[in-house]
Amino acid sequence: MTTQDAKVIVCCAEKGGVGKTTCAVSLATSLHALGLSGLLVDLDPQANSTAWLTGEYADTGARLYESLDGGQLPVDKTNYGIYIAPSGRRMSGAEPLLQSKPMGFVCLRQALQEARGEFDVILIDTPPSLGQLVVAALVAATHVILPVRPDGFSLDAVEKTLTTCRSVKAQLNPQLEILGTVVLDYHKSQVISRHLLALLEDIEGLNVLEPYIQTDIAFRNANMHRIPLEFHEPTSRGNLNFRALAKHLSETMALEVTP
Ligand SMILES: Nc1ncnc2c1ncn2[C@@H]1O[C@H](COP(=O)(O)OP(=O)(O)OP(=O)(O)O)[C@@H](O)[C@H]1O
Ligand SMILES: [Mg+2]
């Protein structure tokens, strides 16, 4: 479809291992399966999204780093119809780079400006801790989702991350829409999954997105083979959950999809 200004969706959690990368990669491929053009920007120096979509950790992340310093955003083609701005070790220098600039939090928004005219959606994968890069991602974003999985620390992280999102919205990016939390690793017969849902409902103003993403070993198989789930096991439960979530989000964000 012809692009308007891309919706920029950041996957954000102030904790490791909760599903940020899984959400970024699976939503990018599921939204693409709906007919939307997509770019994934991997801000995490661990470069897991990059490896998942390119099959390797070959990029140094230097081009993405330089784009935060006024250079051109790298936009590389993947084998899966979507594009990637790849990360790598050099991106571990991005925190001090942004801190050294008086308005470091706007660097990513500026770097993405051109790409926003070229894609329907831009997904941003973020590192697990709160720092300048995550703030810059929230400033560049139009929408944010907060992955959570059934454990207490992950729940604590949702509350903290929500507070961060709300303060960035209040002070730096009034247009930011907090879409809500994506529940991963959900198992309806497990007490802990039901308990998580009850506790999430108690968090004031937090939207719990549906469908939940069920526990599925297919995610680990797919990242082990470094092939997105949409291509590795398209009919797996986890992938079907993500396709339905992508459909729901595309409607929420008023994105036109080709039938
Ligand atoms: N629904 C699910 N069922 C089973 N495993 C899952 C599910 N969702 C995610 N996982 C697994 O959980 C692990 C952590 O996920 P992921 O790498 O996306 O987290 P992350 O928040 O990006 O971590 P980090 O902070 O280290 O970047 C991965 O091995 C992933 O395959
Ligand atoms: Mg990750």
pLDDT, one tens digit per residue, over 108-120 is 999 999 999 999 9
Q: Which residue from 11, 21, 193 has its CB within 8 A of the most atoms of ligand 1, so it is best to mutate? A: 21
Are 44 and 131 within 8 A, CB to CB? no
**Over 60: is that where the pLDDT of 131 sits?**
yes
Residue 96 preceded by cis peptide, ω within 30: no
Q: CA of 161: how far to CAs of 12, 71, 82, in Å?
A: 7, 30, 28
**What residues does ligand 1 touch, defined as CB less than 6 Å away?**
13, 16-22, 44, 46, 48, 128, 184-185, 213, 215-216, 219-220, 223, 238
Cα-to-centroid distance, 71 and ligand 1 (Å): 31
**Atom number of ligand 1 nearest to Cα 223:** 31
Q: Give the whole-angstrom CA distance, residue 11 versus residue 203.
A: 19
**Residue 98 CB-density burial (10 A; 0-12 exposed, 13-18 middle, 19+ buried):** buried
Averaged pLDDT score across all residues of the chain: 96
Reported pTM: 0.97
Q: How far is the CA of 11 from the centre of ligand 2 (A)?
A: 9
Yes or no: say if 149 and 22 are a contact pair by the CB < 8 Å rule.
no
Rounded to an integer, the average pLDDT of 203-228 is 97
Give the residue, out of 130, 190, 219, with the most ligand 1 atoms within 8 A of its beta carbon, to mutate for a pocket test.
219
8 Å CB contact between 169 and 203: no
Residue 13 pLDDT grade (very low, low, confident, very high; cuts 50, 70, 90): very high
Taking CA atoms, 56 is separated from 71, 97, 139, 179, 198, in Å, by 24, 26, 29, 31, 40
